[in-house]
């Protein structure tokens, strides 16, 4: 795979997703970082977005609920370059009916070199990074050269 560099703007697009047992964690994390999050464009799967906006008043672009396809919508936004960071507090103790979608989302985030935080501590480190509010370079798959190599 060939990669190219893209420049992420200071204002990022951040996707917020949490399984039911992890919703209290993501709400607490958003409450602790409301001012940081206000500077960015936020997306969330349906129920996660609703509980976060109720608790914090943050403006969130809500997608479909995860089990109905929300994880896939986030994955699709990643491939379109519309999501720069993924905060995904997935539940390590419960199998989900949409486990294949969860796995697919985590895979596509790895493919597109998107930073992923899967718990409060990793999300805290992400926000604490000076890069959180700055432009920075990220390498992403070079789709044009990928297509050329296949045709
Ligand atoms: O199931 C989810 C992620 O896999 C999250 O979906 P909700 O935010 O709709 O609960």
**Which domains, from first to last, does the chain contain?**
13-136 (3.40.50.1380)
For residue 26, with 0-12 CB atoms within 10 Å meaning exposed, 13-18 middle and 19 or more buried, which class applies? Answer: buried
* Verdict on whether the full-model pTM lies above 0.90: yes
Residue 135: closest CA among 8, 5, 6, 4: 8
CA distance 82 to 107: 16
Pocket test residue of 24, 48, 94 for ligand 1, highest count of atoms within 8 A of CB: 48
Q: In this predicted model, what pLDDT tens digit does every residue of 53-96 receive, in sequence order?
A: 999 999 999 999 999 999 999 999 999 999 999 999 999 999 99
Pocket test residue of 24, 45, 74 for ligand 1, highest count of atoms within 8 A of CB: 45
ipTM surpasses cut 0.95:
yes
């Amino acid at each position: 795979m060939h990669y190219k560099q893209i420049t992420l703007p200071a204002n990022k697009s951040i996707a917020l997703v949490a399984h039911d047992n992890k919703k209290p964690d993501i709400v607490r994390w958003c409450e602790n970082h409301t001012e940081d999050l206000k500077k960015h464009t936020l997306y969330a799967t349906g129920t996660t977005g609703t509980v976060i906006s109720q608790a914090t008043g943050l403006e969130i672009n809500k997608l479909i609920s995860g089990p109905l396809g929300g994880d896939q919508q986030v994955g699709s936004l990643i491939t379109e370059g519309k999501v720069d960071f993924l905060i995904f507090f997935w539940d390590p103790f419960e199998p989900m009916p949409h486990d294949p979608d969860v796995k697919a989302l985590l895979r596509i985030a790895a493919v597109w070199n998107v930073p992923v935080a899967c718990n409060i501590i990793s999300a805290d480190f992400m926000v604490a990074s000076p890069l959180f509010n700055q432009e920075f370079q990220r390498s992403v798959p070079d789709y044009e050269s990928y297509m050329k190599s296949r045709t």
